[in-house]
Amino acid sequence: MATQYRSEKLEKAFAALSKNYRGLDVDLYAVSREKRQTTPVMEGDFMASLSVPTHAGQRHGHPTYAVFKYNDIKAVLQDAATFTSGFIAKGLGTFFGGDGLIIIAMDGDQHRKARGLLQPVFTPQSVNPWRVEIERSIREEFIAPLVPNKRADLMDFALYFPIRVIYALIGFPQENIGDFYEYAAMGLTILAGPKNDPAEEEAARQNAVSASQGLYDAVIKLVAQRRAEGANGDDLISRLIRAEFEARRLDDMEIATFVRSLVAAGGETTTRTFSSVMTLLLQRPALLARVRDDRSLVSKLIDEAIRFEPTSTVKVRQAARDVEIGGVKIPQGALVQCVIASANRDEDVFENADEFDIDRKLKPSFTFGYGPHMCIGQFVAKLELSAAVNAVLDLFPNLRLDPDQPAPEIQGGQLRGASSIPVIWD
């Protein structure tokens, strides 16, 4: 079903998003290795130095610092009272319209309460009932129809399946998936809002706000419908209607605002991660053969790919008071760019950090974040990734890179991933 549906708008929006955050083609890992050695806490705007547009830098009037070592970043992300996220509401949040209040931009008690309501819906126990449908839809709708072609660009379906999964979880009617790809394109337009040029950014804000409103209108209608029907189902909206934390429940507006943000939070992040997992695997034929023959290795493959190539390379916080990191004084109000791509390759934490080694001892990397804001959807993401990797290995016999096409390349300063993965099979 879904692979037959292609949304030009979605493909264009994804390409535009990648381009927006690509920045300079520098070797990000070499640059950050050098920073870890020379200026592990650097005064200055690291993202601007990569030519990546951001609301989390000097252009927006705040002194800016960048942090490169694993333990310093861990300390920042886990201390959400000192290093806050509220500034996101005034930056990326404004592209969502309304008061810009999305969960990633909440602090303190407000965040704790929102998380208390939402988290139970995303625990492994809650996500597991969705497993069968997630596996079925990825395998049957996206991968099985390609088998007779004996060649494909894996990115042709990688853009669609995570959106299809979110669509099913939310509980939209099956037949309107085409409309939802258009909404997802709107979601990507919102994410691509921040620009290097302020005039361009204002125009992008207008587009994004109307996209965000369109998405909200579609979701809120469904929330009202589910509530009227009694909200007994396993779908995300019904579960959120039933959720209760400290005697509080979510109203329709809160549910619609949250659900709307999932398209952006869980769509392209999973697409890009899948692209990196498959690129790293296909570049290593011996590893490919090993994983094909022993599927218990798929979760190790995914964890290592997530460490090695984080899809989003930087997370930013704002200092709520004067504070010191690694002996460097950070003034109240300063923005702190935590360079995840650097922490994940910190040689003091990961042995042979620049080697892709699925057998390494498991240690948490920061690709899903760390501390109170850590990714709420990580079990859904891992479930989808594992379903997709297993399905391509099962259904495409002797899968390998297409020798007649350009080899895939993982690129990007802020958002990383491969834009094309041409493969063949027998």
Going by C-alpha positions, the residue among 37, 42, 46, 40 that lies closest to residue 71 is 40
| 367 near ligand HEM, rule: CB under 6 A | yes
Applying CB under 6 A, does 377 fall inside the site for ligand HEM?
yes
Q: What is the contact mask toward ligand HEM in residues 115 to 134, using x (rule: CB under 6 A)?
A: x-------------------
Count of residues in contact with ligand HEM, rule CB under 6 A: 23
Closest CA to 337 of 368, 367, 314: 314
Show the binding pattern over residues 144-173: x = contacts ligand HEM (CB under 6 A), - = does not: ----------------------x-------
Q: Sketch the per residue contact string, 311 through 350, with ligand HEM: x for CB under 6 A, - otherwise.
A: xx--x-----------------------------------
Least gap, CB of 293 to ligand HEM (angstroms): 25
Phi, psi dihedral angles at 2 (to 5 degrees):
-70, -35
| Distance, CA of 31 to CA of 22 (rounded, Å) | 15
DSSP-assigned beta bridge partners for residue 65: 43, 336
Closest CB to ligand HEM among residues 342, 367:
367
State which residue, 62 or 373, has the beta carbon closest to ligand HEM.
373
Q: Residue 131 burial by CB count (10 A; 0-12/13-18/19+): exposed, middle or buried?
A: middle
Contact window for ligand HEM (CB under 6 A) among 135-143, 210-218, 309-317, 408-416? 309-317
Facing residues of 324 across strands?
Answer: 329
What are the tokens at 61? Answer: 């009037």
* Side-by-side strand order, sheet with 41-43: 41-43, 64-67, 335-339, 314-319, 83-84
Burial class (CB in 10 A: 0-12, 13-18, 19+), 289: exposed
Residues 44, 375: Cα–Cα separation, whole Å = 27
| 369 is a site residue for ligand HEM (CB under 6 A) | yes
257 binds ligand HEM (CB under 6 A): no
User: Of 281 and 376, which CB lies nearer to ligand HEM in the complex structure?
Assistant: 376
| From 92, 138, 191, 265, residue interacting with ligand HEM (rule: CB under 6 A) | 265
Stretch that binds ligand HEM, among 40-48, 52-60, 244-252, 262-270 (CB under 6 A): 262-270
The CA R_g of the chain, rounded to the nearest whole Å, is: 21
Which helix (H) or strand (E) covers residue 401, if one does? Answer: strand 400-401
Q: Which residues bind ligand HEM (CB under 6 A)?
A: 85, 103-104, 115, 166, 262, 265-266, 269-270, 273, 311-312, 315, 367-369, 373, 375-377, 380-381
